[in-house]
Structure formats: C-alpha cells, structure tokens
C-alpha cells in the first residue's frame, strides 16, 4: 500500500497492513468470495470430468489405430471404422459457414448500426434478429430441409454437404450479426467524426476506420458461431446425414459430419468380436471434433491478434 | 512485427495442410468412382489377400481369388444375369444407395463393406437406416435403389410404389428374433405367455406400476403365467418409431386388442427410447424390469439382461436362441427383407451386383455376423429364385 512509507520497519509495516485489511473484511465479502470460488471450482470440475470422460476411452483408439482412424470410413466394425467422411463434412461446413455467414452477417451489422435510421421497422428487425438467435437448432433443420434441400435443389443437388453448410450458416447468422453489431457499436464516435472531418465519405469511414477497429470483436463472434455450427447434430439429422455406410466424400453426394458420426456411434451396440467398442470410437471422434474446432479457432485468434496490433499501430 | 510474421506463416502452413487434405479427398474420390477395370482387378487380388486375414473362412478367400481371375473379362450385364450366386460374384462398378429399416441396416452395411473390399473400392455402397416406414416412403418416391424392411411391405406402401410406377422385388435375407428381457437379478419371472405380456404392456394396462396389477386382466385373458409377482414394474422399450416396437405390438397386441376392440398399440406410459443402449440400461438398472430389444442387441449385451422365455400356443416355454429362432419355434421372431427397385437394378449394374452379393453365401454370412439368425436353406433358395426371375 502506498500509504505506508518505506522508512517504517518491516514488522510495523505488516501490522499496519494487517489492521487495515482486517478492518476491510466483512462477512458478506467473505461469503461472496467463497461462493465465487465454489462457482469457479465447479466449472473447472465439470470441464475436467468432461475431458477425462472423453479422452480416457479415446486413447486406445488413437494408440491402436493411429492415422487409419482419420482416413477410414464409417461402418460396422469399430476396429476398422474411421472418421474421414465426418471430418470432410465438418470441414466443408466450417468453410461454408465462414464464406456465407460472415460477409452477410457483417454487412447486415454495418447496415443496422451505421446506415439504418432509428425507425420502428428497423427496431423490429433488430428485435427479430435477437429472437432468431434463440430459436432451437432443430427448427433450422426443418427450414434447411424445405429451402436448401427442397426449393434450392438445383443449387445444392439435394441432401448434400452444401445444403448442410447453408443451413448451419443461416443458423449462426443471427449470432454473427449480434456480435458484429456490438463490435461496431464499440467503435468510438470520435473516430468516425475524425474521418468525416477530413472529408471522407460514409463508406470510406466504414471501410478504413470502423471495420478495422471492430475486426477483433467481429472475429470473436465468428469463433463462437463457428464452434456452434460445427457441433450441431439436430439440423443434420433432418437434412439426412448418412450414419450407415459412406464410401466416398463429395460436395454433391450423400454426406455426414462429425457430430452425426458421434451421435450414431454412441447409440450402437459393440459387436461381440471387436477389440475397440463403439463407445471408444465415439469418444475418439469427439476428440477429433474438438481438435477441428480448435484449428478453426486458432486461425481466427491469429487473425484477431493481427487486427489488434494494426489497431494500436504496431 | 517479427511475431506477427511468424504467426502469419503458421496460419499459412495450417491452411495449406487443410487444403491439401481437402484436395487429397477429391482425388481419392475421383479414383474410386472412376476406377478402370484393370486397376479394379489388381485391387481385388490385394483385397483377397486382406480377406484371408479378416475372414477366418477359407472358402471366402478362395472365392475372392476366383473373382479376381474373372474380373478382367467382367461383363456387367453377364454379372446381373448370373443365376445361382456363388461365394463371390463378379462386381460391377458404380454407386448404390440403400435406405430402410435400421434393423436391416447393419447387414446392408456389412455387405456394402464386403462389396467395397471385393471390388477394390469401385462398387461404392451408401447405407442409411431411417426406419422401415421412412425407407418405403423414400423408396416409393424413387429415392434409393434398395430398401431394408423388418416386416413385409404394407398394402398402402405397395400402392404408393405402384402409383409412382416403381416395381420392386421382395427378398428375405434373414430372421430377427425379438427378446423380451428383464434384469438378471429378477428370479420371479422365467416365462410369460402372450396374454400375460398383453396384460403388462397392452393399451389397457396404462398405470400398472406393479407386475401383480396385471393379474386380473391376465386371468381374464386366460393366461397361464398368473399369478405375476408382487414387484415394481419398470418398463423400457423402443418407441413407436421403431420397427422393433411394431413387431412386438404385432406379436403381442394385434389379435387380443382387435378382439377386445382396443387400439393396436402398447401403453404409452413407459420409458421409450430409439437408442438400444438406453433400453438395455433401463432393463439392467431396475431389479424387476421388463423390456424388449432385438435379438441382436440381446446377444451383444447378454450379460446385462435375462431373456424371458415365451410360451407358445401349446403352452411350452421357448427361450430365444439361435436354434429356436431359426426353426421358428420361438414365437417372437420376424423375417428381414430387402426390397429392390427392379428398374434401377436393370439399368444400373452396380445395384444388380450388390443384390447379387447380398444373396451370395458370403453376403448371407453377414446376417449372422450382424447378430441375426440365418434363414433356412429353402427360404434362401426362394429369395435367390425370386431375384433371378426378374
């Protein structure tokens, strides 16, 4: 504490500090402290249990199977199955979500934040978008089945990974819009005014000042939405992801994704003769999904750090 | 500046490797779908070598080498016309889509894996299992070349197919036995007859929480299994969407419920699940549980459940075993079918090859491998004749 001058002896210094802190303590603060500690400990405990529950059964799979687990296809024998179709499907879905929902979402956020006037219909749009973010995923599955598998069949060629990617992109679009809106709102008004002051147009200010400043916040939203999209199984069930046998991966044919693979393996009985169980491979597929999300997130974090450095002019 | 450059480089490497992985798949797809006959023949020989280790069946290995010899001269139409299929028929290349029953799905998957192995990847089979009813809906809409069914096609489904101009052939591939089971700790129940099961599970037993609650109804129906024990009744079984539910309803409730002018369903107040593991868990977790699963699941999890023997018409208790199901003495067994779209089989040699393989000895061996019971030789011959007649 800066109040105590260094000339006072160490013992008295400690006594003074103790008397100050003792006076500061109160029962309410102590209870709150303990409660917060319990909250953190519970969260960590749940997380570690989850990871242990996932990694322990998955380890034998990685040890026994190695790379062949990643290159093999789904099937009947847990000793031979692999997650390649799921990895491929989830990867394409990730790319599709980035390509579709981020430009659309950021554009919508720019419009709502900088261009839209404060009228009742614009407020209605914002309220609707916020509500859309809370709609259960399976409803989006029905939407995807109707629109992307049904009406847009010439584009998606039916129950394909393209239809799945578009459905999940629509699913996360509200989240992208909301986080991007908030990131754009956090850009100081002075920055915009400075731009207008030197005669820049609205578009120039948005492009050169607002967007670079808001980029880290937008990327954080992207990471969240991408993780959500990669983990969804419910819409994929409706769109018709394959869980039985899938010999080849393609953009315009039958597809599957990692969450579907995990879901179907979790409910399969292990054949009597096999060494590894379907619960083992399901856990290993879960680890693979975690890794895939991690790779996407690392890329986003690297980009975010770049933008942040640009912002402070390094 | 330096760190950001390094980070950029890392990003580049990661995205490049991901791209490479994605492109790798594309080229793999291209080669598997468009494999010329010569490479297919070469691949079959290696598949044969792999087969000897995989299948402990020496005849299968011999058959695959035989197939390798003939693939060079493989004529797709000839393959479709071959009548009595041997162990390994010649396989055309192409794509097959199989839908239908989730009960038949494991067999179709195994035959599909066999087809991939024997053709060196040129016969690509996709299998899904949304259920018998959903399968027919798709099949009659022209989606899918083959559909699996854990019961015969219903009249309205046949009409649906006929209206859409889809001709199909029905082929029995095996038998599934249903197993009514309880916890291994339950010593009070060894055998039940259909009347007692109706009294426990039927539409009139809603609210029964104790086995003995069903005594009055069971006695009224002339059950020989009364008195039922005074113990809590905890039921877990498949839900209405499942073919296993339909089958047991048919076995247990159809006749009695119709006679008593009740709906042909089971009581709605039990723990239903589409996930067989959860059903097994439910049966295992309560000491006096009652549930039912397909015989395949019962066999896979035999230690966790006790099968209840079922009394046949003469009142003899028959336990579900491979033998009693195969010879039909076990009352609750059902045939498994595949339905093949005839026009697609004629137009697409890959479909014909797949069905050919399905009915071959190597294909039918997958039925037992999947935990079901092989059909009698005469029935198999009927299926083969029906197939060669198209």
Taking the Cβ of residue B31 and every Cβ of chain A, the question of whether any pair is shorter than 8 Å is answered with no
Together in a domain, B52 and B129: yes
| Whole-number pLDDT of residue B39 | 39
Tell me, what's the pLDDT at B74? 38
* B98 close contact with A: CB closer than 8 A: yes
- Return the pLDDT at A313: 56
B15 touches chain A (CB under 8 A): yes
Residue whose structure tokens are 């990895």 = A87
Check whether residue B170 and residue B191 sit in a common domain: no
How far apart, in whole angstroms, are the C-alpha atoms of residue B40 and residue A267?
35
Give the nearest partner residue to B108 out of A244, A254, A268, using CB atoms: A244
Contact A284, A54 (CB under 8 A): no
- Model pLDDT, residue A39: 95
Answer yes or no: is pLDDT of B207 > 80: yes
The shortest CB-CB distance from B15 to any of A249, A268, A299 is to: A299
d(CA A250, CA A261): 17
For residues A245 and A234, what is the distance between their CA atoms, to the nearest angstrom? 19
**Are B45 and B164 part of one and the same domain?**
yes
User: For the purposes of burial, counting CB atoms within 10 Å of the CB of B201, is it exposed (0-12), middle (13-18) or buried (19 or more)?
Assistant: buried
Check CB contact of A275 with chain B, cutoff 8 Å. no
Name the CA radius of gyration of chain A, rounded: 26
Question: CB-based contact (8 Å) between A291 and chain B?
Answer: no
Same domain, B143 and B224: no
Alpha helices in chain B (DSSP H): 2-33, 37-54, 58-71, 76-81, 105-119, 132-140, 155-163, 194-201, 215-220, 243-248, 254-259, 276-285, 295-300, 322-326, 342-347, 349-359, 361-369, 377-388
Cβ within 8 Å of B, A 204-233: none
Residues B48 and B67 reside in one and the same domain:
yes
Helix residue ranges, H only, A111-257: 120-132, 137-144, 153-156, 161-185, 189-197, 202-205, 211-231, 234-239
Nearest alpha-carbon partner for B365 in B173, B179, B177: B173
Residue among A91, A269, A302 whose CB faces B11 most closely: A302
**B38 vs A: CB within 8 A:** no
DSSP per-residue string spanning A166-207: HHHHHHHHHHHHHHHHHHHHTS-HHHHHHHHHTT--HHHHII
- Write out chain A residues lying below 8 Å of B97, CB-based: 254
B66-125: pLDDT as tens digits: 444 433 333 333 333 333 344 456 777 888 889 888 888 888 888 888 888 888 878 888
Name the residue range of residue B287's domain.
184-304
User: Rounded CA gap, A85 and A74, in Å?
Assistant: 7
Q: Which of B153, B98, B9 is nearest to B355 (CA)?
A: B98
Contact A299 B113 (CB under 8 A): no
Instruction: Give the Cα separation of B380 and A164 in Å (integer).
Output: 41
Residue B239 has pLDDT above 50, yes or no: yes
Per-residue pLDDT of chain A (314 residues; tens, 9 = 90+): 455 555 666 677 777 777 666 655 678 888 999 999 999 999 999 999 999 988 888 888 888 887 888 888 887 777 788 888 888 889 888 888 889 998 999 999 888 888 887 788 888 888 888 888 888 888 888 888 888 887 877 777 778 888 888 889 988 999 899 999 988 888 888 888 888 888 888 888 888 888 888 888 888 888 888 888 888 888 888 887 888 787 777 777 788 888 988 888 887 766 666 778 778 888 888 998 998 888 888 888 888 888 877 766 54
Query: Are both B134 and B56 inside the same structural domain?
Result: yes
Q: Is B20 domain-assigned?
A: no
| Backbone phi, psi, residue A270, to 5° | -75, 130
How far, CA to CA in Å, does A207 sit from each of A98, A110, A213? 20, 10, 10
Residues B256 and B353 in one domain: no
**Is residue B222 situated within a structural domain?**
yes
Residues B67 and B51 in one domain: yes
Is position B357 within any domain? yes
CA angle B204, B206, B209 (to 5 degrees): 125
The three-point CA angle B71-B73-B75 to 5° equals: 90
Same domain, B158 and B227: no
Alpha-carbon gap, residue B43 to B219, rounded angstroms = 65
Angle at B378 between CA B375 and CA B382, to 5 degrees: 95
Please check whether residue B4 lies inside any domain of the structure. Answer: no
Looking at the structure, do residues B70 and B159 belong to the same domain, yes or no? yes
The CATH class given to the A92-311 domain equals: mainly alpha
Tell me the CB-side half-sphere exposure of residue A111, using CA atoms within 13 A: 11
Strand, coil or helix: B99: strand
In chain A, which residues have their Cβ closer than 8 Å to the Cβ of B98? 244-245
Q: Which of B55, B99, B105, B109 to mutate to test the interface with A (most CBs of A within 10 A)?
A: B109
**pTM of the predicted model, to two decimals?**
0.67
Q: What is the pLDDT of residues B267-316, one digit of tens each?
A: 888 888 767 788 888 898 888 899 998 887 788 788 889 889 888 888 88
Whether residue B249 lies inside any domain: the answer is yes
Residue B17 lies in a domain: no
Residue B250 belongs to domain with CATH number? 3.40.190.10
Q: Which residue, B295, B284, B301, is CA-closest to B368?
A: B295
Q: Does B299 contact chain A (CB < 8 Å)?
A: yes
How many domains does one find in chain B? 2
Whole-number mean pLDDT of chain B? 75
Question: In the beta sheet, which residues pair with residue B171?
Answer: B338
Please calculate the CA angle B369-B375-B380 and round it to the nearest 5 degrees.
Answer: 110
* B21 lies in some domain: no
| Other Cβ atoms closer than 10 A to B7 | 17
**CA–CA separation, A30 and B375 (whole Å):** 73
| Contact criterion met (CB below 8 Å) for A194 and A102 | no
Split at pLDDT 50, 70, 90, the class of B172 is confident
Buried b (16+ CB within 10 A) or exposed e, B356-379: bbbbbebbbbbbebbbbbbbeeee
With vertex at residue A229, the alpha carbon angle to CA A228 and CA A235, rounded to the nearest 5 degrees, is 115
Which of these ranges, A26-35, B21-30, B362-371, B381-390, has the smallest mean pLDDT? Answer: B21-30
In the predicted structure, residue B249 carries a pLDDT above the cut 80: yes
Distance of CA B267 to the CA centre of its chain: 26
Lowest model confidence (mean pLDDT) among B54-58, B148-152, B317-321, B345-349: B54-58
Verify that B104 and B147 share a domain, yes or no: yes
Distance in angstroms (rounded) separating the CA atoms of residues A249 and A260: 15
Q: Where are the domains of chain A?
A: 92-311
Contact (Cβ atoms closer than 8 angstroms) between residue A80 and residue A72: yes
Q: Is A150 on the interface with B (CB under 8 A)?
A: no
Q: What does each C-alpha distance from A216 to A183, A206, B280 come to in angstroms?
A: 8, 15, 49
Would you call B124 and A248 a contact, using CB atoms and an 8 Å cutoff?
yes
Listing DSSP states for B266-317 in one string gives --S-SEE-S-HHHHHHHHHHSTTEEEEEEHHHHHHTGGG-EEPEEE-TTS-E
Tell me: do B51 and B140 sit in the same domain: yes
Residue A199 gets the label, from left (phi > 0), alpha (psi -120 to 50) or beta, of left
Q: What angle do CA B39, B44, B50 make, to 5 degrees?
A: 130
Lateral strand order in the sheet of B309-311: B191-192, B309-311, B317-318
């Amino acid at each position: 504490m800066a109040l105590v001058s260094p000339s006072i002896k160490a013992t008295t210094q400690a006594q003074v500090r103790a008397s100050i802190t003792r006076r500061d303590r109160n029962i309410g603060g102590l209870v709150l402290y303990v409660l917060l500690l319990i909250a953190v400990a519970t969260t960590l405990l749940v997380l570690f249990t989850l990871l242990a529950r996932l990694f322990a059964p998955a380890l034998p799979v990685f040890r026994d199977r190695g790379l062949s687990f990643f290159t093999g296809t789904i099937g009947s024998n847990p000793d031979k199955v692999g997650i390649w179709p799921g990895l491929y499907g989830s990867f394409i879905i990730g790319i599709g979500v980035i390509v579709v929902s981020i430009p659309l979402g950021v554009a919508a956020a720019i419009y709502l934040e900088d261009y839209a006037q404060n009228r009742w219909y614009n407020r209605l749009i914002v309220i609707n978008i916020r509500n859309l973010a809370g709609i259960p995923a399976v409803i989006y599955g029905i939407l995807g089945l109707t629109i992307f598998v049904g009406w847009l069949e010439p584009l998606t060629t039916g129950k394909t990974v393209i239809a799945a990617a578009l459905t999940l992109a629509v699913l996360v679009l509200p989240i992208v819009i909301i986080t991007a809106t908030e990131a754009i709102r956090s850009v100081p008004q002075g920055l915009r005014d400075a731009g207008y002051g030197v005669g820049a147009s609205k578009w120039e200010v948005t492009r050169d000042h607002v967007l670079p400043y808001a980029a880290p916040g937008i990327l954080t939203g992207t990471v969240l939405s991408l993780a959500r999209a990669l983990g969804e199984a419910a819409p994929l069930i409706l769109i018709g992801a394959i869980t039985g046998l899938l010999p080849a991966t393609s953009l315009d044919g039958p597809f599957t994704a990692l969450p579907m693979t995990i879901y179907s393996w979790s409910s399969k009985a292990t054949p009597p003769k096999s060494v590894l169980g379907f619960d083992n491979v399901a856990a290993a597929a879960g680890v693979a999904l975690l890794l895939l999300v991690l790779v996407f997130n690392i890329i986003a974090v690297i980009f975010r750090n770049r933008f942040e450095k640009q912002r402070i002019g390094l | 500046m330096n760190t950001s450059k390094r980070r950029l480089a890392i990003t580049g490497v990661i995205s490049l490797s991901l791209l490479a992985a994605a492109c790798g798949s594309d080229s793999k797809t291209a080669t598997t779908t468009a494999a010329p006959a010569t490479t297919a023949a070469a691949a079959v020989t290696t598949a044969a070598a792999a087969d000897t280790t995989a299948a402990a069946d020496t005849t299968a290995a011999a058959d695959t080498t035989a197939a390798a010899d003939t693939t060079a001269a493989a004529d797709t139409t000839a393959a479709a016309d071959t009548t009595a299929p041997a162990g390994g028929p010649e396989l055309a290349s192409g794509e097959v889509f199989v839908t239908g029953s989730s009960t038949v799905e494991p067999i179709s998957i195994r035959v599909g894996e066999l087809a991939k192995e024997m053709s060196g990847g040129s016969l690509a089979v996709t299998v899904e299992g949304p259920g018998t009813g959903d399968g027919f809906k798709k099949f009659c809409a022209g989606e899918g070349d083959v559909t699996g069914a854990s019961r015969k096609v219903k009249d309205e489904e046949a009409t649906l197919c006929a209206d859409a101009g889809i001709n199909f052939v029905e082929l029995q591939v095996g038998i599934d036995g249903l197993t009514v089971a309880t916890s291994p700790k339950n010593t009070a129940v060894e055998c039940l007859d259909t009347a007692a099961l109706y009294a426990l599970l039927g539409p009139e037993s809603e609210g029964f929480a104790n086995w003995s609650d069903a005594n009055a109804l069971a006695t009224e129906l002339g059950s020989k299994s009364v008195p039922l024990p005074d113990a809590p009744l905890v039921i877990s079984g498949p839900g209405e969407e499942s073919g296993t539910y339909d089958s047991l309803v048919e076995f247990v409730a159809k006749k009695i419920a119709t006679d008593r002018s009740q709906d042909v369903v089971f009581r709605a107040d039990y723990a239903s699940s589409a996930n067989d593991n959860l059903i097994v868990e439910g049966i295992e977790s309560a000491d006096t549980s009652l549930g039912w699963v397909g015989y395949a699941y019962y066999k896979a999890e035999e230690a966790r459940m006790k099968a209840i023997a079922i009394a046949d018409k003469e009142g003899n208790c028959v336990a579900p075993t491979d033998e009693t199901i195969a010879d039909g003495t076990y009352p609750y067994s059902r045939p498994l079918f595949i339905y093949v779209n005839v026009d697609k089989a004629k137009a697409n040699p890959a479909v014909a090859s797949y069905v050919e393989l399905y009915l071959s000895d190597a294909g039918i061996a997958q039925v037992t491998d999947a935990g079901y019971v092989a059909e009698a030789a005469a029935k198999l011959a009927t299926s083969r004749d029906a197939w060669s007649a198209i």
